[in-house]
Amino acid sequence: MGNIIVGQSGGPTAVINASLAGVFKGGKDNNIKVYGMINGIQGLLEERFVELNKEIKTDLDIELLKRTPSAYLGSCRFKLPNIGENDEMYEKIFSILEKIDVDKFFYIGGNDSMDTIKKLHTYAKDKDKNVQFIGVPKTIDNDLAVTDHTPGFGSACKFIATTIKEIIKDATVYDAKNITIIEIMGRNAGWLTASAAITKSEDCNGVDLIYLPEVHFDIEDFVRRVKKLQKNKKSLVIAVSEGIKNKNGTNICEIEEENTILDSFGHKSLSGTAVTLAKILQRNLGCKTRAIELNTTQRCASHCMSEVDINESFLAGVYAINLAMKGESGKVVVFERTSNAPYKMDMKAHDVYDIANFEKKVPINWIDTENATVKKELIDYIKPLIQGEVYPIMVDGLPKHLRLEREKY
């Protein structure tokens, strides 16, 4: 039997390393050598990889890895060419894998990363290459098709809801009119922003309005609603997705030019939705407004992880190994929820062709457009995923993380 290689791809999460730990543990328990690609498929093409057995030496290292945010192996945003367009690149990948005797390839990522699994699996089948390809889902955005939810989503929700509960406490402290607008990640899917709704509980009135990108955002209606709410409540807290758009499809953050920062790839940076709305409210209502962007902390706050999420992420890695041991390829680990209360979840293997490149948005019938909030179904869907805590291992007052030997110098 050959060796294993595993890579991480796309935006990091607080628990993507728990899935890596699962793949590693699964391989180790089967006495198979596990390689790790540095910076995903992009690094592999440059023959950058490490022997994980030499890096993750003890059981404590595995626990540390599970609690280390962001991609331990580094990540990439690299799309393979279509099959037929550049066979040289594919041949290069397979020759590198052959050189280190790898016949099982695992990739932890979102829908773009599953495209890599799909293409490599297809190429291997077409050319009779003896390598199996398995995808392990990961994304805080929860926008992967087929699976009930994705590893990383629950912890991001827990961090967002925890922080918003605290911000609500902070925002209500003065006896003066004020509006806080909290911007949450999500360009096309509002799953993360919906987690603002779970703050409403015995000890918290929750947020006042929630806007997801699945529904067109109407500025005039927004100002009207805020004005009306202000009549009965001094302090308002509003949650918005970074990607909300008006009915013409223009991002709200782009309607006022100065907020747009172009990144080096020429992409417009979407930061600034909350700032834009704060300016609009200030102009129209004249009261104190505050824009809060939760930013990258949403995807790397491993000091506030969900136990359910970290356990599922780890087990998804182990399950992927089991699939490969059974001879599967071209499959992605997916979650199937069999019960909500009590929460019960099964893991399954699903064909990568149904998953790669698709995007799952929040169902419109889970959104309450009339009251600019989300429905009970959506709250019931999220709540089980944030349950339980796994705390970091603390050293000298700060969370301890695991890192590659080469990064120490």
Q: Is the CB of 178 or the CB of 369 nearer to a copy of itself?
A: 178
Q: How many residues sit in the footprint of a copy of itself (CB under 8 A)?
A: 81
**Neighbour-count burial of 88, counting CB atoms closer than 10 A to its CB (0-12 exposed, 13-18 middle, 19+ buried):** exposed
Q: Is 174 in the site for a copy of itself (CB under 8 A)?
A: yes
- For the sheet containing 3-8, what is the strand order? 49-51, 34-37, 3-8, 102-109, 132-137, 331-340, 343-351
Q: Is the CB of 371 or the CB of 387 nearer to a copy of itself?
A: 387
Q: Which two tokens stand for residue 210?
A: 């929630």
Instruction: Give Cα separations from 45 to 41, 86, 409 (angstroms).
Output: 6, 13, 24
Q: Is 266 in the site for a copy of itself (CB under 8 A)?
A: no
Which residues does 369 contact at the CB level (< 8 Å), separation at least 6? Answer: 215
Q: Is 303 in the site for a copy of itself (CB under 8 A)?
A: yes
62 alpha carbon, distance to own chain's centre: 21
Annotated catalytic residue within 115, 141, 143, 309: 141
Q: Is the CB of 122 or the CB of 172 nearer to a copy of itself?
A: 172
141 assigned to active site: yes
Binding part of the chain for a copy of itself, among 27-35, 135-143, 145-153, 272-280 by CB under 8 A, reads 272-280
Q: Is the CB of 130 or the CB of 387 nearer to a copy of itself?
A: 387
The span from the CA of 283 to the CA of 279, in Å, is 6
77 alpha carbon, distance to own chain's centre: 14
Q: Which two tokens stand for residue 195?
A: 């987690």
Q: Is 340 in the site for a copy of itself (CB under 8 A)?
A: no
The span from the CA of 11 to the CA of 295, in Å, is 13
**Neighbour-count burial of 164, counting CB atoms closer than 10 A to its CB (0-12 exposed, 13-18 middle, 19+ buried):** buried
Q: Is 315 in the site for a copy of itself (CB under 8 A)?
A: no
Q: Is the CB of 164 or the CB of 324 nearer to a copy of itself?
A: 164
Among 31, 58, 173, 248, binds a copy of itself (CB under 8 A): 173
Among 193, 230, 251, 302, binds a copy of itself (CB under 8 A): 302
Residues 124-163 that bind a copy of itself (CB under 8 A): 158, 161-163
Residues 32-91 that bind a copy of itself (CB under 8 A): 38-39, 42-43, 68-71, 74-77
Q: Is 166 in the site for a copy of itself (CB under 8 A)?
A: yes
| Residues belonging to the active site | 141
